[in-house]
Amino acid sequence: MTSALPPIIDIAHLQTLLTGAAAGDSQVQLLDVRWALDGSKGHHTYLEGHLPGAVYLDLDTELAAPARREAGRHPLPAAADFAASLRRAGITEGSTVVAYDDSNGAPAGRLVWMLRALGHDAAVLSGGLDAWDGPLETTDVRPAAGDVPVRDWPAHRIATADEVAAGAALVIDARAAERYRGDVEPIDPRAGHIPGAVNLPFAENLDPEGRFLPPQQLRRRFEAAGVREDRETIVYCGSGVTATHDVLALERAGFTRVRLFPGSWSQWSAEASRPVAVGPMP
């Protein structure tokens, strides 16, 4: 199954979806995925003001399983656990999901990638909360339970560490350049990057206002880095969150042979047998 909705939409597209939902033509569920590694963003910021009707989903507990050395800091949750979280958020089988955050689109991108990997219509709101110019709500929205089924994670959307190491795919590191080079490593066991990976920091998918770049501009960026239609691309980051930003941007640019390495650098760097490269070159 594939999603009929583009991976990234602007505020005008969202308003069209909401108008259709108000007329009874469709069902749209807004999901707030504000999150920060240091805990400064989360359910408490959602309660300070969110899009009307939006339900909060917690990245650490609902979009990831507990951290494990062999799977990284944000492993994908078990399929049944993820389905339960979606039902709690009111997601039904035929609904369209639009997710947003208040930073750069990466937390929302994690959820949207997960949904799209399972064939569910979902998109990130480009610009996030700042793109919304209407009133905000402060209630903790608790919708009626949804009915999405349990679906296993599809292997063709996910790459393992061994598949990354095999070298058949172009590997993209979505982290900031200083972490790619190994100048700093604030959280994971070793500094550096996967040998052969090219660095395409996810933040460079955005314009100065925090909106995603147009498809053709993104396509030029990715083609310059060696992305091709006839070769698979695998994307990783620190723990499989910000890498989804690059994955969705690649899809926006028209590339379809793209997989996520969920364990990312947190898994790779924890395995002493895995080689590490440092410096600005792959």
pLDDT tens-place string over residues 27-47: 999 999 999 999 999 999 999
> By the 8 A CB rule, do 92 and 107 touch?
no
Cβ neighbors of 101 (< 8 A, separation 6 or more) are: 32, 33, 34, 35, 41, 107, 108, 128, 129
| The domains spanning 8-131 and 155-268 adopt the same CATH topology | yes
Told to judge if 237 belongs to the known catalytic residues of this protein, a careful annotator would answer: yes
Catalytic residue among 237, 243, 250, 270: 237
Residue 282: is it exposed, middle or buried by C-beta count within 10 angstroms (0-12/13-18/19+)? Answer: middle
Helices (H) and strands (E) in the chain, counts: 10, 9
First to last CA, the chain: 34
pLDDT in tens, 136-180: 999 999 999 999 999 999 999 999 999 999 999 999 999 999 999
Q: Which two tokens stand for residue 35?
A: 């999150």
Domain ranges of the chain: 8-131, 155-268
CATH level 2 (architecture), domain 8-131: 3-Layer(aba) Sandwich (3.40)
What class, spelled out in words, does domain 155-268 have in CATH?
A: alpha beta
Let me know: does 195 contact 173? Beta carbons within 8 Å. no
Please give the mean pLDDT across all residues of the chain.
Answer: 96
Q: CA dist 80 to 61, 152, 232, 268, Å?
A: 14, 8, 29, 26
pTM for the whole structure: 0.97
